[in-house]
């Protein structure tokens, strides 16, 4: 009886342990939450896979973490949005050539009650200064993502160190250390302001009373870049298939596919691989 029991457990283990899919041809792409949460990858990847037979496995992280993942050799391609960090990644020899792919923009999101009274302000610097002066709640990603980097750069540009608000009685600046969606959920619940990329904002489903407070400032520009992880650093990198994905993204076909992606009739990303210096 005991033996049968053992055989049963063994058979069951073999059964559940079987891989459900045969080994496929695939690459791993470390990318950002915005490209995944906005649904862009659900639109792009089937097109690429259909054309090349290469499956794309996306690990969606903040830009800083995605670059770390690639630095460790756990991804074949990185597709992120923080140009300075990307250039450093390439300079340090972890990535081959960086290609500009597309852009969208950041928007400052705030509650309809608008506690800092900044709705309609066109200048992002003025808006942030007002938020800090009035001590209106502001949610920061705090996760070294591309959006977090952009937010910190904006604060620096207006000469405010928001981290100093932490711990004092006002405590209006709240770092949550999570992704874009989580930051929007938190801002919704706290009636706080938050900087978001437009794509995640448009596809976000729990907007509640949140709305766009400030948009259209040139400083809110958000560029995405893509690069192959350097096979010289990590020999197991699937250089041929990875480069095929990079090349497809910046090809006429890939660029057109990016432009075609829309939510509620609104275009989310604007292809600009041909733009010099992007």
Partner 1 sequence: MIDDASPLIAALALIVRLDPAFLGIVGLSLRVTLTAVCLAALIGLPLGALLAVSRFRGRLAMIVAINALMGLPPVVVGLVFFLLLSRSGPLGGFGLLFTPSAMIIAQASLVLPIVIALTRQTIEDLWAGYREYLQSIGMGPKEAIGTLLWDARFSLATALLAGFGRATAEVGAVLIVGGNIAGVTRMMTTAIALETSKGDLALALGLGIILVGITLLVNALAFGMSRIGVRHAG
| Residue ranges binding partner 1 (CB under 8 A) | 1-2, 5, 9, 12-13, 16-17, 19-20, 28, 33, 37, 41-42, 57-60, 72-74, 178-182, 184-185, 203-208, 234, 236
Cβ nearer to partner 1, comparing 38 with 213 = 38
Cβ nearer to partner 1, comparing 4 with 276 = 4
- What's the CA gap between 44 and 56, in Å, rounded? 10
Cβ nearer to partner 1, comparing 67 with 154 = 67
Cβ nearer to partner 1, comparing 67 with 180 = 180
Strand 99-111 relative to strand 173-175, pairing: unpaired
Cβ nearer to partner 1, comparing 9 with 232 = 9
- Compute the least distance from the CB of residue 145 to partner 1, in Å: 12
Q: Are 273 and 100 in contact (CB under 8 A)?
A: yes
- Compute the least distance from the CB of residue 141 to partner 1, in Å: 12
- Compute the least distance from the CB of residue 193 to partner 1, in Å: 17
By the 10 Å C-beta count (0-12 exposed, 13-18 middle, 19+ buried), 150 is classed as buried
- Compute the least distance from the CB of residue 75 to partner 1, in Å: 9
- What's the CA gap between 262 and 43, in Å, rounded? 10
- Compute the least distance from the CB of residue 125 to partner 1, in Å: 29
Q: Are 114 and 131 in contact (CB under 8 A)?
A: no
For residues 82-111, one letter each, b for 16 or more C-beta atoms within 10 angstroms of the residue's C-beta and e for the rest, the string is bbebbeebbeeebbbebbbbbbbbbbbbbb
Cβ nearer to partner 1, comparing 83 with 144 = 144
- Compute the least distance from the CB of residue 157 to partner 1, in Å: 28
Q: Are 193 and 129 in contact (CB under 8 A)?
A: no
- What's the CA gap between 254 and 48, in Å, rounded? 8
């Amino acid at each position: 009886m005991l033996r049968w029991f053992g055989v049963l457990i063994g058979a069951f283990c073999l059964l559940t342990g079987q891989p459900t899919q045969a080994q496929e041809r695939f690459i791993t792409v470390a990318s950002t939450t915005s490209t995944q949460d906005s649904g862009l990858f659900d639109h792009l990847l089937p097109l690429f896979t259909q054309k090349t037979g290469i499956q794309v496995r996306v690990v969606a992280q903040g830009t800083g973490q995605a670059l770390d993942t690639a630095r460790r050799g756990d991804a074949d391609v990185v597709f992120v949005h923080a140009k300075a960090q990307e250039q450093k990644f390439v300079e340090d020899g972890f990535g081959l050539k960086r290609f500009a792919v597309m852009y969208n923009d950041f928007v400052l999101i705030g509650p309809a009650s608008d506690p800092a009274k900044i709705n309609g302000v066109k200048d992002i610097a003025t808006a942030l200064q007002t938020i800090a002066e009035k001590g209106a709640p502001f949610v920061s990603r705090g996760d070294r993502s591309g959006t977090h980097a952009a937010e910190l750069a904006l604060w620096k540009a207006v000469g405010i160190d928001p981290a100093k608000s932490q711990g004092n009685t006002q405590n209006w600046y709240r770092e949550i250390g999570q992704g874009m969606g989580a930051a929007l959920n938190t801002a919704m619940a706290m009636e706080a302001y938050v900087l978001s990329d437009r794509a995640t904002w448009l596809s976000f489903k729990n907007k509640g009373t949140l709305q766009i407070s400030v948009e259209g400032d040139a400083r809110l520009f958000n560029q995405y870049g893509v690069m192959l992880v350097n096979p010289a650093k990590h020999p197991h990198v699937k250089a041929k298939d990875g480069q095929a994905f990079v090349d497809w993204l910046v090809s006429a076909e890939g660029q057109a596919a990016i432009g075609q992606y829309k939510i509620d009739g609104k275009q989310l990303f604007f292809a600009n691989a041909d733009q010099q210096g992007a």
